[in-house]
């Protein structure tokens, strides 16, 4: 009898967690000033009341700077989608991915037609342990 009660309670939790997991493959797109002092969301051209959402994969990037390897949040997407984003940013701004207002600065990783990946220009913050201060870099 207990299994009949537990199963109906667990099933909606599994459904809910799966739909939440599927949103990991999208990011909001913004334009960040190359010096990191300003940014704004890119609005959806078909509905100016909604932010532009891109499809791809969140991942952890790494970069070697002055002998130290830093990790940073990155979002991988296709070259064609990145090129669309560029057209929505002003001259001194670069497209930047985000998962919300309080998220650290992240970079796009661009999947090229030949299978290679290009790190896009922009501002990024290092991933750190809880309680540590992140470092902001301009790439």
Domain spans, the chain: 24-138
Which one is predicted more confidently, 70 or 9? 70
**DSSP SS3 for 19:** helix
Whether residue 1 is predicted with pLDDT greater than 90 in this model: the reply is: no
Q: Encode pLDDT of 56-98 as tens digits.
A: 999 999 989 889 898 999 999 999 999 999 999 999 999 999 8
pLDDT (0 to 100) of residue 3 = 33
How far is CA 9 from each of CA 2, 5, 12, 20, rounded to the nearest angstrom? 11, 7, 6, 17
Highest mean pLDDT among 24-33, 87-96, 98-107: 87-96
The model's pTM is: 0.75
């Amino acid at each position: 009898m207990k299994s009949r009660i537990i199963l109906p309670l667990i099933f909606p939790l599994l459904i809910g967690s799966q739909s939440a997991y599927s949103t990991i493959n999208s990011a909001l797109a913004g334009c960040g000033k190359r010096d990191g002092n300003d940014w704004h969301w890119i609005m959806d051209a078909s509905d100016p009341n909604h932010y532009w959402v891109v499809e791809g994969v969140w991942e952890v990037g790494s970069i070697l700077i002055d002998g130290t390897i830093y990790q940073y949040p990155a979002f991988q997407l296709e070259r064609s989608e990145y090129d669309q984003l560029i057209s929505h940013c002003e001259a001194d701004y670069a497209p930047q991915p985000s998962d919300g207002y309080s998220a650290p600065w992240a970079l796009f990783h661009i999947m090229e037609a030949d299978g290679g990946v290009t790190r896009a220009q922009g501002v990024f913050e290092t991933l750190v342990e809880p309680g540590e201060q992140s470092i902001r870099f301009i790439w």
